[in-house]
Amino acid sequence: MKFIKKSFVTLALLAIVFLPVLSFAQGVQPINSTTKINNPIPSITTVDGFIKTILIGVIKIGIPIIALAIIYSGFLFVTAQGNTEKLKTAKKAITYSLIGAAILLGSWAIAQLISNTVLAL
């Protein structure tokens, strides 16, 4: 009985490993000299535009996270109820949230400064 169980487990593991390889074997294209890499963002052709696009995406994701962090810090202040240890934790949380917001929003200003400097050269 143990032999049948081990055989079944081995066969199942082999099937899990090798069946995907067999199923994708037909879709493989040979590499030739006409193969080229397509730009996933065709509207961006410069490094400057790429950096701006990345920063815009990070800012769009980061601003709601900063807002939630500030709300959470306010919640910590409310639940501290005069407890000095909890107030210290709440003050640290609001301080780090505001520092993160300054870094996030300052990154756009720094990127614009560097971009304008490089383009002026």
Q: Is residue 68 part of a domain?
A: yes
pLDDT in tens, 36-82: 777 667 777 777 778 788 888 888 899 999 999 999 999 999 999 88
User: What is the Cα–Cα distance from 100 to 66, expressed in whole angstroms?
Assistant: 7
User: What is the Cα–Cα distance from 102 to 54, expressed in whole angstroms?
Assistant: 18
Q: Is residue 25 part of a domain?
A: no
* pTM tops 0.75: no
Structural domain for 92, as ranges:
46-121
Looking at residue 103, its pLDDT comes to 92
Looking at the structure of the chain, the number of domains it has is: 1
Nearest Cα to 117, choosing from 48, 44, 45, 43? 48
Q: Given the structure tokens 């037909």, which residue do they identify? A: 26
Looking at residue 23, its pLDDT comes to 61
Q: Is residue 5 part of a domain?
A: no
| Residues in Cβ contact with 115 at an 8 Å cutoff, skipping those fewer than 6 apart | 48, 51, 52
Q: Is residue 74 part of a domain?
A: yes
Q: Is residue 30 part of a domain?
A: no
Looking at residue 22, its pLDDT comes to 61
Place 89 in a pLDDT band, splitting at 50, 70 and 90: very high
Q: Is residue 120 part of a domain?
A: yes
Q: Is residue 28 part of a domain?
A: no
